[in-house]
Structure 1
Amino acid sequence: MRGLVLEFARQRRRPDRAGIDRLARVLGLALAPLLLLGALVAGEGLGTALVVAALPLSVATALGRPILKHDIRRDSLTGLEDRAALIRRLDRMLRAPETARRAVAAMAVEIDGFKHLEQRHGRPAVERVLRRIGDRLQDGLRSDDGLARLDGPSFGIALSSSRRFDLESAIQLGQRLQQAVADPIEIEGGQVHASISIGFALAQRLEQPGGAELLQAATLALIEAQRGGTASIRSYSEAMRHRISVRNGLSDEIAGALDRGDICAHFQPQISLGDGGISGMEALARWHHPDRGLIPPAEFLPVAEQAGLMSRLGEVMVQDGLNALRLWDAAGLKVPQVGVNFSQVELADPRLVDRLAWELDRFDLQPDRLVIEVLETVVAHRLEDVVVRNLSGLSRLGCRLDLDDFGTGHAAITSIRRFSIQRLKIDRSFVSRLDCDPEQRKMVAAILTMAERLGLETLAEGVETRGERDALRMLGCSHAQGFGVARPMPRAETEAWIRAAQAKPAPLSSRRAI
């Protein structure tokens, strides 16, 4: 009978291995008395010995006790293999001949936004989501592939193919798995729309892969995928390992770099498109590393965030910005204001308003000379929390508020008015090729018309060419910033640039044209 059960399981496209195990245990318990009765009826020494020898096996199977050293252990929630079992499966695949080993791969999969899911729903709903996604992943694999639950919202997959498993086929499989989990999951009181990020590693890309090493490589690729946003897929490479190693090294150094002043503000000018005058500066973080030279913010800002140092970095930017204003004033240079980017972590600090008020008083500067630049994604759809209260408090203090990267974060017009936003910074994606793309001009013209009706100033980011600059002025944009105006520079270099800019004659004004 056990043979019939296993044959039935093999014929199913996706066997319920946990269910088969439970059925086998019940059958084993039922067969134990029959085996004993057979032994008594046989009455022969050999028959009795064989039956008695088989009896412990039957009983052990029925009770679910492991009888072999390498029995597969399963996750109690999903019924899937665990991490150790998956690694053993990968090891077996990798012990195959060289040609077969090239077709082995591992995947690491994680449900996106799982912490948010746990915060919004109860434990029964979360467990249902985990089980359903485990089932859907299993349905997207072949019977020879292995699926395991690693921990929390993470799953691991062992893959082997009769042919060479290459980059393209791995990406295609990853996309199929993402589609497999995309359908809504019914839970009590509603639905959950889940997505997954995937990292994978091909055995052929590792010098001496073992099961554990291959799964670790896939996990590193998963981490890189999650840095790219939800539902991303990344492949492991040695270059990726090097980048992660460098980033980990930066993580050990960044706190000391902030204390020593190696991380400081560079300033990028903002100009008025009406008269060409300097309308402000934006403070941008730069890291002067003693060995690596200038490290771009795209490399170290994620490190600062992971290390919990965004607030400390924000303090440095504010202090550098306000100190620069004081020094420009002392040198007789007219720079009306300085803008500082504030992360969501900083804006959620309950002490933010008091701290900035103290800093402004310390540098003897009026609040309207400090511009708080807030990403559109931070204010979109917010109702009432510490961030909202801080933005309102900063507006009452007299600081100016810029909405950064406008057009990318779906902020409602009501949010713009409620937060007392005074200027929209139009994202570079709208500015690029503005002078030769009629569709771009239409979109920018619409943004400028809305801003004019709402009484808001506008600043175009990422202006790189004279043509883009002239087109923005013709359309009626107030201010511009970008490499076409000036690159970010250390404060010591700004004075010469400011003097040269203020010595230039003002450009001819142009009336607005669409």
Structure 2
Amino acid sequence: MAVVQGAEQVKKRIRAILTAPHLAAFLPATMIFAYWYGGEHLMVLVAILFPGLLAIGGTLTRPSPASPQKIDATTGLPKRTKLIEHLDFGFMPDAEYEKSCLVLEIDEITKLADQLGPVGIEHVLRIVSGRLRTALRETDLVCVLDVGRFGFSIDKRQRVDLEATLQLAARLQAAVSDPISLDQTRVLLSSCLGFAMPGRSPEANGEALLSAAESALSFAIQSGPGSIRAFSNGMAPRVGRIEHNRETLLRALDEGQIKPWFQPQVCVKTGRITGCEALARWQHPTMGLIAPGAFLPAIAKAGLLERLGEVVLYGALSAVRDWDNEGINVSTVAVNVSADELNNPTLSDKIKWELDRFDTSPERLVVEILENVITQTEDDVAIHNVKALALLGCKIDLDDFGTGNAAIASIARFNVHRIKIDRSYVTHIDTDIDQQNMISAILTIAKQLDIGTVAEGVETHAEHAMLATLGCDHAQGYSIAKPMPAETFLQWALTHEQKRTADVVVPKLA
């Protein structure tokens, strides 16, 4: 890259000499000299050769045509190659400024794309990309790295330190979080961001700097929605999303690399643990903890959703048995059931067999079904499975409520026990009156149908407090606890209950 750029600089200087206006003044003098030295014949020869040599020199020193940059069709932004080239300039000896690299990804972008559909997600991405461009200086660059993932090259000017970079990161996240109107509804987004300063780059080139920023982003994603992380030397560089093949995924499922972690659900008013949700996590032997968004789509693509369901169910019921043996009663554990599993005629029998195997009461197993599965399915097998599980005694939760336009009749038909309010309605509920009104309407519907409510993605104590004020039953999110392995959940539950009990004020007798 540096050699090519140096050659271009030499060609530019030679071309500047050949095309300079004063060079034309030498032509008459050259003609006279040729006539004096060689007579009329030499003068004619020079008259022919001189312009020809200039033309050839101009052609040879013409700048190489810029390779057509691949442009993202949705946003109109350049892609990864352009970003790396821009970052490379910051490492050149004569560079005016070094470059910092930031990478931002919209939280749960895969899930969001499924909810909004192709037209909706393209509309959202176009608006977000426009806002991000507006938030930058003219000399800075924003590119598309993947669906919902953007990379930035930022001039590291004087006094641009860690604090200034954090302020820029917050400004970019704020641009993403502004509400977006879509089909008379509002879409609220959050984002994670990772960044790398040039002095921290593993190597002095743009590829390494971008890899470092993406590594920081992966740690931010693991820390939860809205997180920001800076690259440090202890982080292993990663580039983009990795495509995992079916053989690798199957081995990870069979060897216990992929297994359930557990996120607690608590009573909004009292803080008492009322259950937990089992969420698939991949602890890779060399890559460390892989974010769900980086492997769940690959599992679906490989046709392994049913195998994943078996692994998660086994791990969930094993954890319940172990917690019971330790004297911790977690009343329910929720597992997600995909559309592929629902269309398997033997699903209800398989779950009944697993419950009998672990001697677990069906009432302690919550089966979570996505709202869009209910709205889209007319399959008799799926309907039979849901009804059979409800008759068995399992509880049915309707997940991501508010994103699939489920009819009230569908809720009744599927014997729904609780609705889980999607995090897009919970975000900013403490400050946004429209969000509060939406939650109030959902809670009113639930009350009329005599079903429970669980708010997902509760990220702040202020959101938790507002949910209590509005009358939501249960809450789940990072403000309470992150998903954790079964052993860690046990310790967390013991500590949480001890603290909750200690906080209860016992009235004194008169």
Q: Name the TM-score class by shorter chain.
A: 0.5 to 0.7
Instruction: For residue 453 of structure 1, give the secondary structure of its aligned residue in structure 2.
Output: helix
Contact 2:390 / 2:415 at 8 angstroms: preserved in 1? yes
Q: Which residue of 2 aligns with 1:341?
A: 336
Alignment partner of 1:276 is 2:271:
yes
The CA deviation at 1:380 is: 0.9
Alignment partner of 1:260 is 2:255:
yes
Q: Which residue of 2 aligns with 1:320?
A: 315
Task: Report Cα offsets for 1:408-432 as digits up to 9, x if no partner.
Answer: 1111111001000010101111111
Contact 2:244 / 2:295 at 8 angstroms: preserved in 1? no
Distance in 2 (CA, whole Å) between partners of 1:314 and 1:172 is 36
Distance in 2 (CA, whole Å) between partners of 1:485 and 1:104 is 46
Alignment partner of 1:230 is 2:118:
yes
Distance in 2 (CA, whole Å) between partners of 1:326 and 1:432 is 35
Distance in 1 (CA, whole Å) between partners of 2:348 and 2:443 is 31
Distance in 1 (CA, whole Å) between partners of 2:383 and 2:278 is 23
Contact 1:101 / 1:204 at 8 angstroms: preserved in 2? no
State which of 428, 431, 443 in structure 2 corresponds to 1:433.
428
Instruction: For residue 378 of structure 1, give the secondary structure of its aligned residue in structure 2.
Output: helix
The CA deviation at 1:203 is: 9.2
The CA deviation at 1:382 is: 3.1
Distance in 2 (CA, whole Å) between partners of 1:243 and 1:482 is 27
Code of the aligned partner of 1:274: K
TM value normalised by structure 1:
0.55
Distance in 2 (CA, whole Å) between partners of 1:267 and 1:405 is 18
The CA deviation at 1:501 is: 1.7
Aligned counterparts, 1:400-415, within 5 A = 400-415=395-410
The CA deviation at 1:235 is: 6.0
State which of 343, 354, 358 in structure 1 corresponds to 2:353.
358
Alignment partner of 1:102 is 2:67:
yes
**CA separation of 1:202 and 1:307: change in aligned 2, threshold 3 A:** closer
**Structure 2 portions without partners, runs of 5+:** 1-61, 86-108, 126-142, 147-206, 212-236, 506-510
TM value normalised by structure 2:
0.55
Q: Which residue of 1 aligns with 2:297?
A: 302
Instruction: For residue 445 of structure 1, give the secondary structure of its aligned residue in structure 2.
Output: helix
Distance in 1 (CA, whole Å) between partners of 2:309 and 2:350 is 11
Distance in 2 (CA, whole Å) between partners of 1:311 and 1:357 is 16
**Structure 1 portions without partners, runs of 5+:** 1-96, 106-166, 175-199, 208-223, 510-514
Contact 1:401 / 1:420 at 8 angstroms: preserved in 2? yes
**CA separation of 1:466 and 1:354: change in aligned 2, threshold 3 A:** same
Distance in 1 (CA, whole Å) between partners of 2:402 and 2:112 is 22
Code of the aligned partner of 1:324: A
Task: Report Cα offsets for 1:142-186 as digits up to 9, x if no partner.
Answer: xxxxxxxxxxxxxxxxxxxxxxxxx48x55789xxxxxxxxxxxx
Distance in 2 (CA, whole Å) between partners of 1:466 and 1:230 is 34
Count how many residue pairs are aligned between Structure 1 and Structure 2. 310
**CA separation of 1:409 and 1:206: change in aligned 2, threshold 3 A:** same
**CA separation of 1:226 and 1:274: change in aligned 2, threshold 3 A:** closer
Distance in 2 (CA, whole Å) between partners of 1:202 and 1:98 is 23
Tell me the C-alpha RMSD between the 2 structures. Answer: 3.3
State which of 376, 383, 389 in structure 1 corresponds to 2:378.
383
Distance in 2 (CA, whole Å) between partners of 1:436 and 1:205 is 37
**CA separation of 1:206 and 1:393: change in aligned 2, threshold 3 A:** same
Q: Which residue of 1 aligns with 2:216?
A: none
4+ runs deviating over 4 angstroms: 97-101, 170-174, 200-207, 224-229, 231-240, 242-246, 506-509
Q: Which residue of 1 aligns with 2:467?
A: 472
The CA deviation at 1:376 is: 0.6
Identity %: 43
Q: Which residue of 1 aligns with 2:287?
A: 292
The CA deviation at 1:304 is: 0.8
**CA separation of 1:104 and 1:291: change in aligned 2, threshold 3 A:** closer
Q: Which residue of 1 aligns with 2:476?
A: 481
Contact 1:350 / 1:386 at 8 angstroms: preserved in 2? yes
The CA deviation at 1:457 is: 0.3
Distance in 1 (CA, whole Å) between partners of 2:393 and 2:384 is 14
